[in-house]
A and B are shown apart, each in its own frame.
Chain A
C-alpha cells in the first residue's frame, strides 16, 4: 500500500547539485555565501558530583545557510539539546560552560560575550520552540497577551499593534477563530494547538533562524503531521532557516534538507538528507534507519535494532564511541583510534574509520 501523499520522484530528477556542492563542510568558506549560523568546534561541560567537569558535547561543528532546514538527529542523551542551548547562549543558564568553540550568527561572533549581551546581539533573530509547549507558556496570561507581550518587547510595537499582530500570527499558524481564541488561556489548548501558539509567538518576531527541539515528540501522529506541514508552510512563507532536533529520522525526512547525526556528544555523520537516507556512511546512521518501523516492510514482524545503549558522558570509549555496539567494529583498530570527522566518497562527512570500505544499507524503499 502506498502511504506517500505526494508524487514519488527519483532524486536525479530534482536535485541538480552533486553531493559535493551541497555539503558545505566539504567546501572552503570562500566559495560560499556567509552561513546564517556557523557553529565551530563547540564543546560543553557540566559539573558533576565527584569529578569536577564532564564533557557532554565535544567539538561540534555545523553551518546553516539562510532559509535552509537542517536536522540534528540522535538518541536521547546524545547532546542535541545541549548543542542547541549553546547556540542560543543558554549554556551558562543551565549550569554548564562552553569549553571550546565559537558560535557566529549572521556574521556576529557570539562566543565570549556574557549571556545577556549574547542574547542582545542575536536579538529576536533566533527563536526556539520545545517539546513541551505548555511549559513554555504562562498559564496566568491569555495566549494573545503572551504573543503581544513578546512582540512589544522585541519589535517595540504599540499595545494595539501588538494585539493585531498576535491575532495575525495565530491566523498564520492556522488556529481557527483566531481573534476569539487569542483571549483564551493556555490550558484550553490541546498539545498540538499549544505548539501552534509557540510557533506563532516565536515567528511573530520575524526570526531568521528557528530552532525546534523535538517539537512533535509529545504529540500523536496525526497532530505531528499537521505541525510538520505547518513548519514547512511557515518556512516557505517567511524563508526562516530551521534547525530541527529529533530522534526520529522518519520525521526528519519530512522537513529537512540536510542532516547531522549525533552520537555520544559528537557529530558522527553529516550529509544532505538524500545521501544520508539512501547511502549512509556511518553504521550508526544505517542502524537508525533500519530500526524505523515500516508497515509492510518488516521481516517476520521483527524490528531491526542496534544492540545496547548510548554511553553517558564521562564513560565514552577511547576509540570509536560507537564501537561497543557496532557490528563492523574491528578490534585493534576501532577500539583504539578515535575516528576524525572526515570527508568520505559521497562528499559528506563521517566519523567512521571504515566508511569507505563498508557498503551500508540505506532506507528500504
Chain B
C-alpha cells in the first residue's frame, strides 16, 4: 500500500464575482489528478507556472479542500478526518515553502521556531524541547549556536535549513516541498538539495517535491509527475522522463534547462575551448 494515494482530485477557485458578490468566473486549478507516493520515495511535480503544482501539494495536506476526489494517507481517509484525527495526521505530513523569509516568524528565535511543533503537538518539557531543537539544527548542518538568533540574521540558505529542521521536529513520514530551493543561489541550492537527499535516505522520508526546474528533479526525484493547466500530462520514472519524454510539453521543459556553455557571436554553443587552450 502506498503512503499517500491521491485519486481524481479537482479544485476550482473563483476569480470573479458579480455585483452581488456571487461567484461568476472560475479557474480550474486542478482537474482529475491522481497519483501515489510510497514511503521513502520522492515524487516530483513539475510544470510551468500556474500548472497547479502548489495546489496539488496543498490538497495532499488538506490545506486546501478539493472539490472532489479522495486522499488517503497511511490508510486514513484524509478528507473524512475530523479535527483531532487531522492533527495527528499533520504531525506525519509536513511542508516546506519556497520563501523561507515569510515562512518563519521574524520575532521568534530560531530555537523557538524549531521547537514550536513540539510545543504544540507534544507534552515534552522545555529543556527536552531545547535539547531536541539543538539536535535538529545540528542535523541540518547549522549547529546549536543558531538557537538564540533571529531570522533576519540568517541568509536564505540558512533559513531554509531552519524550515527543514522545523519540518523534521515531529518525525514526519512525508514532507511536501514546494519549490524549496527556487529562491536560493545556485551554490546554496546545491547544498540544500544534497541535505534533503541525505535526510531522505537516513530517515526514510517521502517527498512530494514541487518544482519547475527539471535540472533539480534529476538529482532528487525517483518519479516525476508532469502537470499542464491543472492536469497530469505525463508520468514516469526520472530515467524515463529524461531519456524518452513522451509529450512535447515535457520536452519543452527539458530543453528550457539552461546549459552552462557560452555562445559565440553567432549564438552557437561552444562546447570546448579547442586549440586555444
Contact = CB atoms under 8 A, between A and B. Distances in A.
Interface string A187-220: 0001100000000000000000000000000011
Nearest to B261: A253
A330 interface: no
B259 A4 contact: yes
Contact of B268 (A9, A77, A249, A304): A9
A177 interface: no
Interface in B154-194: 155-158, 184-191, 193-194
Contacts of A256: 262
Contacts of A257: 262, 265
B49 A9 contact: no
Contact of B218 (A7, A75, A293, A307): A293
Contact of B187 (A3, A219, A220, A305): A305
Nearest to B195: A305
Contacts of A365: 261, 271-272
Given A220-B49, A291-B187, A14 B258 contact: no
**B264, B266, B272, B273, most chain A CB atoms within 10 A:** B273
A75 B155 CA distance: 11
Contact of A302 (B155, B194, B243, B265): B194
B187 A224 contact: no
A6 B266 CA distance: 10
Contacts of A223: 48-49
A274 B255 CA distance: 22
B124 interface: no
A98 B11 CA distance: 53
B253 interface: yes
Interface residues of A, number: 69
Interface in B198-221: 212-216, 218-220
Contacts of A190: 49-50
Interface in A207-245: 219-225, 228, 232
Contact of B215 (A18, A279, A293): A293
A309 B260 CA distance: 23
Interface string B240-277: 00110000000011111111111111111111111111
A278 B185 CA distance: 21
Given A223-B49, A302-B219, A309-B158, A8 B214 contact: no
Nearest to B274: A12
Contacts of B212: 220-222
Nearest to B265: A14
B264 A8 contact: no
A54 to B, nearest CB: 15
Contacts of A276: 262
A3 B156 CA distance: 30
A3 to B, nearest CB: 6
A105 B140 CA distance: 47
Contacts of B190: 291, 293, 303-305
A365 B220 CA distance: 22
B268 A75 contact: no
A273 interface: yes
A277 B49 contact: no
B186 A253 contact: no
Nearest to B258: A250
B57 to A, nearest CB: 16
Interface string B48-71: 111000000000000000000000
Given A223-B48, A295-B214, A278 B277 contact: yes
B197 interface: yes
A14 B218 contact: no
Given A76-B185, A288-B187, A289-B260, A11 B276 contact: yes
Interface string B132-159: 0000000000000000000000011110
Contacts of A288: 186-187
A305 B271 contact: no
Nearest to B270: A11
B218 A309 contact: no
A194 B252 CA distance: 22
B186 A292 contact: yes
Nearest to A292: B260
Contacts of A298: 218-219
Given A277-B261, A293-B190, 7 more contacts: A7-B269, A10-B271, A14-B265, A223-B49, A248-B258, A253-B259, A256-B262
Interface of A: 1, 3-15, 18-19, 75-77, 190-191, 219-225, 228, 232, 247-251, 253-257, 273-279, 287-289, 291-296, 298, 301-307, 309-310, 362-363, 365
Instruction: State the 8 A-B residue pairs at the shortest beta-carbon distance, nearest first.
Output: A12-B274, A10-B274, A273-B262, A303-B190, A278-B273, A250-B258, A220-B212, A14-B264
21 contacts: A1-B242, A6-B267, A8-B270, A8-B271, A9-B271, A76-B188, A221-B212, A225-B258, A250-B257, A251-B258, A253-B258, A276-B262, A287-B187, A293-B218, A295-B218, A298-B218, A301-B220, A302-B197, A306-B187, A309-B188, A365-B272
